[in-house]
């Protein structure tokens, strides 16, 4: 936590604000420009003492909830909000509001430029929000409907079912990510409905949820028995889109391996049988 830099940033943003923009009285003496400390504290629904200590570089590390309240009170831009979270040492901030369920166009277009790679983007609740033709060929044609949720598919079934060596491990990965999402988006109704559906329909999900697994995105290798391509040994790598709390999943095979040749054949077939967009490419929107 960069205490001095955080304190300076808060002071600078506070003094740059105009009281009349908040409906606050401007009559009477004001020793400094901008809002008073107690006015910011009131707007952020926190104690004046706590806010004063932050501005004096004496406060404890603020929680994401406090930082989000400060960002709203100080009317920070998205870039300033991200900077605030970095100064506080809390990592990437969650998107304002609920989980983002639209993919940025440049991210979606990137998926189409990856040769011999199945690629998809999942939101914080494991909804698939973008994909390319090879990913659809690997994971099922229902991906093209734009309504697939990998958490629902893992625990409640539906969609194609391929034998995979990573089924059990993926269950832990899913629950760990949904736990993070539940903490970050406590008021997201769509996420709450998904969690209720999973609890009601899967004893396995309920048991894993109680164990509160922890998992960091990274590299995994798995074996898959695909109905068209046969037995495949695949690498799964995850890249983060931190500003939207989304993950780009890249599915590849080792160069020169039988699985790589099988993926190449499957890609040729999928490019002829799948619409070229391979996923939603509309203009980027906020939380859905």
- Give the tens place of pLDDT for each residue, 219-235: 889 998 998 899 999 99
Q: For 104, phi and psi rounded to 5 degrees?
A: -65, 135
Residue 195 has pLDDT above 50, yes or no: yes
Rounded mean pLDDT, 62-74: 88
**Over residues 176-183, mean pLDDT:** 91
pLDDT band at 34 (very low <50, low <70, confident <90, very high): confident
Dihedral of the alpha carbons of 9, 11, 12, 17, in degrees to the nearest 10: 130
pTM of the model: 0.69
**Average pLDDT estimate for 42-47:** 92
Question: Structural domains in the chain?
Answer: 3-87 (1.10.260.40), 105-273 (3.30.450.180)
The count of other CB atoms within 10 Å of the CB of residue 251 is: 23
- pLDDT of residue 282 exceeding 60: no
Facing residues of 120 across strands? 131, 249
Can you say whether the dihedral through the CA atoms of 136, 142, 148, 152 is positive or negative? negative
What CA–CA distance (Å, rounded) separates 70 from 74?
Answer: 6
Q: Is 136 exposed, middle or buried (0-12, 13-18, 19+ CB in 10 A)?
A: buried
Answer left, alpha or beta for residue 224, where phi above 0 means left and psi between -120 and 50 means alpha.
beta
Mean pLDDT over residues 74-86, rounded?
87
- Dist CA 27 CA 153 (whole Å): 61
Q: How far apart are CA 117 and CA 110, in angstroms?
A: 11
Q: How far is C-alpha 156 from the chain's CA centre?
A: 22
> What mean pLDDT, rounded, does the chain reach?
86
């Amino acid at each position: 936590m960069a205490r001095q830099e955080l304190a300076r940033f808060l002071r600078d943003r506070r003094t740059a604000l105009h009281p009349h923009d908040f409906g606050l009285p401007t009559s009477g003496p004001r020793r400094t420009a901008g809002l008073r400390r107690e006015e910011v504290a009131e707007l952020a629904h926190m104690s004046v003492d706590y806010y004063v200590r932050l501005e004096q570089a004496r406060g404890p590390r603020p929680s994401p909830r406090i930082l989000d309240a400060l960002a709203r009170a100080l009317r920070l831009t998205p870039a300033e909000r991200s900077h605030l979270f970095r100064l506080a040492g809390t990592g990437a901030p969650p998107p304002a509001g609920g989980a983002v369920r639209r993919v940025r166009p440049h991210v979606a277009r990137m998926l189409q430029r990856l040769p011999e790679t199945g690629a998809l983007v999942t939101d914080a609740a494991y909804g698939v929000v973008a994909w390319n033709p090879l990913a659809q060929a690997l994971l099922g044609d229902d991906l093209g409907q734009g309504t697939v949720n990998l958490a629902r598919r893992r625990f409640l079934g539906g969609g194609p079912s391929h034998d995979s060596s990573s089924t059990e491990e993926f269950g832990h990965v899913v629950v760990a990510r949904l736990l993070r999402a539940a903490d970050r988006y406590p008021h997201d109704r769509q996420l709450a409905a998904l969690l209720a559906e999973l609890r009601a329909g899967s004893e396995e999900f309920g048991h894993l949820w109680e164990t509160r697994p922890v998992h960091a995105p990274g590299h995994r290798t798995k074996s898959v028995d695909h109905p068209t391509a046969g037995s495949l040994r695949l690498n799964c790598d995850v890249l983060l889109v931190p500003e939207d709390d989304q993950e780009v999943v890249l599915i590849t095979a080792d160069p020169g391996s039988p699985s790589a040749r099988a993926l190449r054949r499957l890609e040729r077939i999928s490019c002829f049988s799948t619409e070229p967009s391979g996923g939603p490419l509309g203009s980027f929107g906020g939380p859905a």
